[in-house]
Amino acid sequence: MPVKDSDADDQGSAKPVEAAAPRAKRRRSQPLKVANQIPQSRRKEIEKALEDASPTPKKWSRKDGPKYHRFLRKRISPGTVRQIEFDLLDVDIGESWPIPITVIHGARPGPVVTVLGALHGNELVGPLALTYLCGPNLLGEDEAIDPAAMAGTLRIIPVVNLPGYRRQSRYMVDGRDLNRSFPGKPDSNTTSRVAHRLWNKVIKGSDHVIDLHTAAVGRTNMPQIRANLAHRASNRIARAFGIEAILDNEGPKGSLRKLANDSGIGAITYEGGGSNEADPESVQVAIYGVLNVLRSLKILPGYPSRPRFRILASGSVWIRSDQGGLLDVLTPAGSFVEEGETVATVTDPERPGESYDVLTPTRGLLISTATHPFVNAGTPIGHLLPVTRGVKTLRKRLDPEGCLVTSGSDGDPPWREDEDVEDISVIGEWSGGSPDAEWGHNEEGATDDEAGEADPNWT
């Protein structure tokens, strides 16, 4: 945990100091740890952003007693759960695409957290995780999230891009990518209108946003967080999520994460699994992570779980095929691979018996692999975090096949303090400017898992 949680009434009584001396500012939170192997320029940016802890907002003060949560012209009483329908489009006739939003308003005041799934309609890990999160047996038999025990407000939107979800497509009906259309305009194209309404009516009033995604068509991701670590509130929840891989970068232009950050809202993107599939491990890790964030923000009672280590990555390395043909990936996403290890083979049906190995250029953690078998020379088939430090620690969490067992996928890890979490830095840059830029286009997929181009044929 980067920040020791501090309650508004946690001031204590400062000892009197000598009259002449200026009163030292009381440090209400522990200094944040920034891994010292992160490139120095980036480290300075992150440290600067984390320097001044802003005080707990007055609106979370518990002195004035419970308050209503005003949302979409509704007044939600403290300690209650409400399900509200929100129209993606504001129309009198025709399709308005109402989507369900569950609001769990705690008995005591606290931060407002919005959790979203399926901004990309065919990414189903978010919808599944959030349906469980709203469900009656989340924390045990007949044990749902209890608003009476909560301090703060949770808004859960399992499926945002409903029209895309119904068509099993990443995009909105006009072929545009909703997660590249923020903040949107009220009088522009359909996707832009939806983005504008979502942002202004639903997201804007949040203190934190957790956006759940999977890889785009043609590839798969091991569970990972993407966050701008130089954004204080985002840094905090990125670590609080409690998993190993954190990719430090600003969100793509037009993405919800970027707009939220620019507006002072803490925002992270979770990526796990692939689109059009329901990878149970990625679903489990998503639920685990959301609960960790809620516990860490003290919205839910209990202690957040923490991983044995975190990889804070500022860049990556790509593994490409040098031949064309059909791909067979041997090391799944999540594998820790050695330099020169064979990660895939390429064969050509017209040349039976001939096979080419694809080797890793360097040692590291494979965070994403291609699932689409057609490759040309130069096609990226794997995305690697080149881990050079902390390898011994990392190895302790590998399964017999050499795959990282993500925290939360194998039950709750033992309790540990944040100081006991080892930070492992990966230095580099994101080729093409963002973690997914090198994937390129295929018919269904998109450049970025977080935000792709509007139309795959549009270049």
The nearer residue to Zn ion, 122 or 206, going by C-beta atoms, is 122
Contact (CB, 8 A) for 51 and 94: no
- In the complex with Zn ion, the residue whose CB is nearer, 3 or 124, is 124
Stretch of 67-75, 139-147, 206-214, 380-388 contacting Zn ion, by CB under 5 A = 206-214
Query: Which CB atom, from 123 or from 279, has the smaller least distance to Zn ion?
Result: 123
We find the least distance from the C-beta atom of residue 182 to Zn ion, in angstroms, to be 14
Decide: 331 and 341 in contact? Cβ < 8 Å: yes
Out of 180, 196, 213, 258, which residue is the one contacting Zn ion (CB under 5 A)? Answer: 213
Query: What's the closest the beta carbon of residue 449 comes to Zn ion, in angstroms?
Result: 5
Please return the burial class of 4, using the count of CB atoms within 10 Å of its CB with bins 0-12, 13-18 and 19+. middle
Residue 120 or 219 having the CB closest to Zn ion: 120
Question: Applying CB under 5 A, does 120 fall inside the site for Zn ion?
Answer: yes
Draw the binding track, 236-255, toward Zn ion (x: CB under 5 A; -: no contact): --------------------
Shortest Å distance, C-beta 254 to Zn ion = 13
As a whole number of angstroms, the distance between CA 67 and CA 30 comes to: 30
Residue nearest to Zn ion (CB): 213
List binders of Zn ion among 121-150 (CB under 5 A).
Answer: 123
For the bound state, the minimum distance from the C-beta of residue 120 to Zn ion, rounded and expressed in Å, comes to: 4
Of 195 and 421, the one with the shorter C-beta distance to Zn ion is 195
Please choose, out of 42-50, 205-213, 239-247, 305-313, the segment that lies near Zn ion by the rule CB under 5 A.
205-213
* Binding status of residue 219 toward Zn ion by CB under 5 A: no
Nearer to Zn ion, 120 or 258 (CB): 120
Please choose, from the candidates 459, 450, 323, 330, the residue with its C-alpha nearest in 3D space to the C-alpha of residue 382.
330
Residues 327-366 that bind Zn ion (CB under 5 A): none
Compare residues 120 and 383 and give the one whose CB is closer to Zn ion: 120
Q: Rounded to an integer, what distance in angstroms lies between the CA atom of residue 11 and that of residue 25? A: 12
Residue among 208, 120, 227 at smallest CA distance from 448: 120
Nearer to Zn ion, 103 or 245 (CB): 245
- Least Å from the CB of residue 214 to Zn ion: 6
Question: Residue 310 and residue 242: Cα distance in Å, rounded?
Answer: 8
Q: How far is C-alpha 211 from the geometric centre of its chain's CA atoms?
A: 6
Q: Residue 397, interface with Zn ion (CB under 5 A)?
A: no
Candidate ranges 28-36, 114-122, 188-196, 409-417; the one touching Zn ion (CB under 5 A) = 114-122
**Nearest-approach distance from CB 19 to Zn ion, in angstroms:** 59
Distance CA 350, CA 16 (A): 85
Cβ proximity to Zn ion: between 118 and 237 the closer is 118
Q: Cα separation of 96 and 90, whole Å? A: 6
Q: Which region, judged by CB under 5 A, interacts with Zn ion, from 81-89, 213-221, 365-373, 433-441?
A: 213-221
Helix (H) or strand (E) holding 423: strand 422-426
* Distance in Å, CB of 450 to Zn ion, minimum: 6
Q: What is the DSSP string of 24-67?
A: PPPP-SPPPP--TTS-HHHHHHHHHHHHSPPPPPGGG-STT---
Give min distance, CB of 340 to Zn ion, in A: 33
Residue 64, Cβ density class (10 Å: 0-12 exposed, 13-18 middle, ≥19 buried): exposed
On whether the CB atoms of residues 362 and 312 are closer than 8 A, the answer is no
CB of 84 to Zn ion, least distance (A): 24
Q: Are 329 and 369 in contact (CB under 8 A)?
A: yes
- CA distances 130 to 9, 114, 154, Å, are 33, 11, 11
The minimum distance between CB 445 and Zn ion, in angstroms, equals 11
**Region near Zn ion per CB under 5 A, out of 48-56, 65-73, 115-123, 287-295:** 115-123
Q: Whose CA is closest to 116, among 213, 206, 195? A: 213
Nearer to Zn ion among residue 124 and residue 229 (C-beta): 124
Nearer to Zn ion by Cβ, of 255 and 292: the residue is: 255
Least distance in Å: CB of 213 to Zn ion? 3
Longest dimension (CA), the chain: 88
The string over 158-197, giving b where at least 16 C-beta atoms fall within 10 Å of a residue's C-beta and e elsewhere, is bbbbbbbbeeebbbbbebbbbbbbbbbeeeebbbbbbbbb
How many residues lie near Zn ion (CB under 5 A)?
3
What is the contact surface with Zn ion in residues (CB under 5 A)? 120, 123, 213
